[in-house]
Amino acid sequence: MIRTEEEEDYTSPPWLMPMLRGSYFIPCSIHADSNKNECNMFCLDCAGAAFCSYCLVKHKDHRVVQIRRSSYHNVVRVNEIQKYIDISCVQTYIINSARIVFLNERPQPRIGKGVTNTCEICCRSLLDSFRFCSLGCKLGGMKRGDQSLTFSMKGKHGRDYQGGLESDEATTPTKLRKTKAFNRLMNGLSISTVRFDDYGPGGDQRSPNSGDEGGFSFSPGTPPIYNHRNSSRRKGIPHRAPF
């Protein structure tokens, strides 16, 4: 199925393809004599060639993302790119304590044993909840005519947002299980605390107006610690051994 120009603009921003095909980490021709002059910045508003950090003054108030390297592949941080496009169905990775997403496909010549899910474009092994390994592979899936895929931020309802942005850490089944287990633990602690507070030290049920302020205790009393070492008799005066 061939997409119309209107659909192409709606689902894929005009700057995405130039960003994916850009040449990065080459010396900047304008600041050739400066240190750290590699071109690792890309302006989404200009959608031109990559530039170095010294050229940022020319892109004031523009949307700029920084391209990074991981295993000789270009990546971008999730918290930077997810402000502008929908990266759902693309597997993300955590490198150097930062969640990143790869720009282009990374073909995998051999698929390991036990792999149950692979990228629909380049066949790289993935987790079961993802379909693509990079933004370029997702774009390739869209070009195949999959109408369920889009890069547009429109219509992203029912997702977890923090301050208008999608949460950096995606909700996974493992995190859901940990959250549920934590909630059950907290509920059990609160129930046991209430039951303990309802009864006095001798097992008699307390009245609502007995002793404590407000009639409630937020934590059970801590029992005294019995030290077995101090229970033994003290040693006598030491005697010197005979010559």
Separation of alpha carbons 190 and 6, rounded Å: 56
The better pLDDT of the pair 177, 46 is held by 46
pLDDT, tens only, 148-164? 999 987 655 434 333 33
Token pair for 239: 């005697």
E strand map for 116-172: 161-162, 165-166
Whether residue 193 is predicted with pLDDT greater than 50 in this model: the reply is no
The ranges assigned to domains in the chain are: 15-108+115-143
Give the 3-state secondary structure of residue 186: helix
The better pLDDT of the pair 195, 12 is held by 12
CA separation (Å) from 18 to 86, 137, 192? Answer: 17, 15, 60
pLDDT of 220 reads 55
pLDDT, tens only, 4-46? 444 444 468 999 999 999 999 999 999 988 898 999 999 999 9
Do the Cβ atoms of 121 and 141 come closer than 8 Å?
A: yes
Give 205's contacts (C-beta < 8 A, 6+ positions apart). Answer: 198, 199
E strand map for 80-194: 93-95, 98-102, 161-162, 165-166
pTM here is 0.61
- H-helix or E-strand containing 142? helix 135-143
Average pLDDT over residues 190-201: 49
Separation of alpha carbons 93 and 167, rounded Å: 14
